[in-house]
């Protein structure tokens, strides 16, 4: 508290406004002059609130590096004092008869102190702020920095939300087709015309697949839950006298785990038959087969004759990346956790099976492990139809056995169908609208083209499920799934013969 000096004879100790005694109507001097000091705390509280709000807004739009710099610490104190002085001036009573400002202010302070003591009114908030500012600059500076940190935290949260929204909207737009412009990747070769010629001859009963090889079909993700996955193709090959197997692997396992199992599977087939193996992998099965050749080529180079990747996300798929990408708005609803529960708890699979199909994982893997150049490779990519007709398309995925019929003594099997075509069409339409990319419903056309391979790009609309599940209303005049697989493997045999000839010419 400031000590009041002894009054001099010429000085007046009378306050500018005399302390008023409370009346029943709250007025003094016959109701002409309001009781100002009784409302000072309320005015001070409002001024304090205005000062704090101004400081907060100032901190939000100021340069934080200035607040933390010793060079500008003095400027920060001055700005704080100006803000407090502004709020204090709004509550100070004015007088038009001030002759000695210093004396008048001292007398006014004396009157305020006596009024505070007599009425036990709490110290006005703006006086506390003024004393802190003048008496302890360091304390005031830390208060401003705390206010600025609060503003910075608010801006960071808002900026983080904007970044999440931007990341969600962009999605996989920068990743789709990255293989086509990646350094060190060999170009692809067009093979659609030759494929159509082979397919046409197969439809007319001309089959060229040699019996000197074993054909291994490798299913894709979630194939363990589809009993008829690749079954029609295996039956067709068996009728032609060809040795054909469907790889018994856990499709929901990681790529590296399946690659190791396929390596052992191929070696077992070769040791039992003494025949080289031609591989045809669908969807993730193609990725697993390519990983087996990349990781274990030294053990498999004399046992594998080539590889067909049918609708495989060799470069990755936006479906997996958009589901599992971190920092997106879907994290607020634990989208990744829901996907993990479905795969790990419901399907009893491994989360890495889906993670390995993201663009990030595919880039990491392909940077370390390339397909050997001497391996003949054919990649097959298609585009799904999005016409309303696909809504009536039903895919045959399983059989349901009814109890024994007494008269016949045999069980009755009924087909189990699902509208997979409609689901693939909806997904393809989503990828088309969001990214402007053509796809089979799960894999974009550009991501299914393997660098250095012979690419087949049919104009026929085929979704991702068509290759492994027959459709009840499919147009057989253009060839069924087993005939397409036969044509792809026949093309692979020709590509292998050509590649071996080229390698022989180089050796000479």
Question: What are the structural domain ranges in the chain?
Answer: 27-170, 194-315+364-507
Confidence of residue 130 (pLDDT cuts 50, 70, 90): very low
Beta-bridge mates of residue 414 = 400
As a whole number, mean pLDDT of residues 231-260 equals 93
Confidence of residue 75 (pLDDT cuts 50, 70, 90): very low
* Residue 85, pLDDT above cutoff 60: no
Q: Which two tokens stand for residue 406?
A: 């007494």
Q: Which two tokens stand for residue 348?
A: 């009893």
> Is there a contact between 278 and 489 (Cβ–Cβ < 8 Å)?
yes
Confidence of residue 503 (pLDDT cuts 50, 70, 90): confident
Predicted confidence at residue 86, as pLDDT, reads 42
Confidence of residue 45 (pLDDT cuts 50, 70, 90): low
As a whole number, mean pLDDT of residues 361-367 equals 95
Predicted confidence at residue 184, as pLDDT, reads 85
Q: Model confidence over 267-286: pLDDT tens digits? A: 999 999 999 999 999 999 99
Predicted confidence at residue 167, as pLDDT, reads 78
Confidence of residue 257 (pLDDT cuts 50, 70, 90): very high
Q: Is 162 helix (H, G, I), strand (E, B) or coil?
A: helix
Q: Model confidence over 296-317: pLDDT tens digits? A: 999 999 999 999 999 999 999 9
Predicted confidence at residue 36, as pLDDT, reads 41
- When the pLDDT of each residue in the chain is averaged and rounded to a whole number, the result is 75
d(CA 187, CA 180): 8
As a whole number, mean pLDDT of residues 157-179 equals 84
Predicted confidence at residue 453, as pLDDT, reads 97
Predicted confidence at residue 134, as pLDDT, reads 47
CB-based burial label for 58 (10 Å; 0-12, 13-18, 19+): middle
Predicted confidence at residue 20, as pLDDT, reads 42
Predicted confidence at residue 224, as pLDDT, reads 76
Predicted confidence at residue 67, as pLDDT, reads 40
Among the CATH numbers 1.10.3720.10, 3.40.50.1820, 3.40.50.11540, 3.30.1490.20, which is that of 194-315+364-507? 3.40.50.1820
CB-based burial label for 476 (10 Å; 0-12, 13-18, 19+): exposed
> Is there a contact between 247 and 309 (Cβ–Cβ < 8 Å)?
no
As a whole number, mean pLDDT of residues 155-180 equals 83
**CA angle 223–229–234, rounded 5-degree value:** 135
Predicted confidence at residue 476, as pLDDT, reads 73
Task: Name the one residue in this structure whose structure tokens are 């197969």.
Answer: 202
Confidence of residue 53 (pLDDT cuts 50, 70, 90): low
Radius of gyration of the chain (CA): 40
Q: Which residue has the higher pLDDT, 187 or 122?
A: 187
Task: Name the one residue in this structure whose structure tokens are 């000839």.
Answer: 501
* Residue 363, pLDDT above cutoff 80: yes
Q: Which residue has the higher pLDDT, 467 or 341?
A: 467
d(CA 332, CA 167): 14
Q: Which residue has the higher pLDDT, 29 or 225?
A: 225
- Select, from the ranges 104-113, 117-126, 179-188, the one with the highest average predicted confidence (pLDDT): 179-188
Predicted confidence at residue 409, as pLDDT, reads 55
* Residue 161, pLDDT above cutoff 80: no
Q: Model confidence over 466-489: pLDDT tens digits? A: 988 877 667 777 889 999 999 999
Predicted confidence at residue 162, as pLDDT, reads 80
Predicted confidence at residue 342, as pLDDT, reads 66
Predicted confidence at residue 55, as pLDDT, reads 57
Predicted confidence at residue 492, as pLDDT, reads 97
As a whole number, mean pLDDT of residues 36-63 equals 50
Predicted confidence at residue 389, as pLDDT, reads 80
As a whole number, mean pLDDT of residues 379-404 equals 81
Predicted confidence at residue 9, as pLDDT, reads 42
- Percentage of residues of the chain with pLDDT beyond 90: 44
Model pTM score: 0.68
Q: Which residue has the higher pLDDT, 385 or 17?
A: 385
Measured in residues, the chain has a length of 508
d(CA 286, CA 292): 10
* Residue 236, pLDDT above cutoff 90: yes
3-state secondary structure 35-62: CCHHHHHHHHHHHHHHHHHHHHHHHHCC
* Residue 99, pLDDT above cutoff 70: no
Q: Is 342 helix (H, G, I), strand (E, B) or coil?
A: helix
């Amino acid at each position: 508290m400031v000590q009041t000096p002894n009054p001099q004879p010429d000085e007046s100790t009378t306050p500018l406004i005399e302390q008023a005694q409370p009346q029943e109507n709250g007025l003094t001097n016959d109701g002409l002059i309001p009781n100002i000091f009784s409302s000072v705390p309320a005015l001070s509280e409002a001024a304090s609130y205005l000062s704090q709000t101004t400081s907060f807004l100032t901190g939000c739009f100021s340069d934080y590096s200035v607040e933390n710099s010793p060079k500008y610490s003095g400027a920060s104190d001055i700005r704080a004092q100006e803000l407090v002085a502004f709020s204090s001036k709004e509550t100070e009573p004015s007088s038009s008869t001030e002759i000695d400002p210093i004396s008048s202010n001292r007398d006014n302070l004396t009157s305020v102190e006596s009024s505070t003591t007599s009425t036990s009114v709490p110290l006005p908030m703006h006086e506390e702020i003024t004393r802190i500012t003048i008496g302890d600059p360091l304390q005031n500076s830390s208060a401003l920095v705390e206010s600025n940190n609060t503003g910075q935290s608010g801006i960071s949260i808002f900026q983080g939300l904007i970044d999440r929204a931007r990341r969600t909207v962009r999605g996989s737009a920068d990743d789709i087709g990255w293989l086509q412009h990646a350094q060190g990747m060999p170009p692809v070769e067009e093979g659609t015309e030759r494929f159509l010629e082979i397919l046409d001859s197969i439809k007319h009963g001309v089959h060229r697949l040699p019996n000197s090889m074993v054909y291994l079909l490798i299913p894709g993700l979630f194939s363990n839950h589809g009993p008829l996955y690749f079954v029609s193709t295996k039956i067709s090959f068996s009728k032609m006298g060809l040795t054909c197997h469907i790889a018994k692997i856990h499709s929901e396992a990681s790529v590296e785990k399946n690659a190791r199992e396929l390596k052992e599977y191929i070696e077992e087939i070769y040791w039992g038959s003494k025949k080289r193996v031609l591989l045809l992998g669908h969807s993730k099965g193609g990725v697993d087969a390519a990983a087996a050749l990349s990781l274990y080529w030294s053990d498999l180079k004399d046992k594998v004759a080539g590889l067909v990747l049918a609708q495989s996300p060799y470069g990755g798929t936006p479906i997996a990346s958009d589901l599992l990408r971190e920092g997106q708005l879907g994290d607020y609803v634990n989208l990744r956790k829901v996907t993990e529960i479905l795969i790990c708890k419901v399907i009893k699979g491994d989360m890495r099976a889906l993670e390995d199909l993201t663009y990030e994982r595919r880039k990491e893997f392909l940077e370390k492990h390339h397909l050997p150049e001497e391996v003949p490779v054919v990649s097959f990519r298609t585009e799904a139809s999005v016409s309303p007709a696909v809504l009536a398309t039903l895919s045959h995925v399983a059989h349901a056995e009814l109890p024994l019929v007494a008269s016949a003594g045999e069980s009755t099997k009924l087909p189990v169908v699902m509208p997979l075509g409609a689901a693939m069409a909806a997904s393809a339409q989503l990828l088309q609208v969001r990214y402007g990319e053509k796809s089979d419903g799960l894999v974009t056309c550009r991501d299914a083209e393997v660098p250095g391979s012979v690419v087949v790009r049919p104009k026929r609309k085929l979704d991702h499920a068509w290759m492994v599940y027959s459709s009840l209303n499919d147009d057989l005049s253009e060839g069924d799934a087993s005939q397409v697989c036969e044509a792809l493997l026949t093309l692979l045999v020709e590509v292998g013969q050509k590649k071996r000839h080229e390698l022989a010419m180089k050796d000479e």
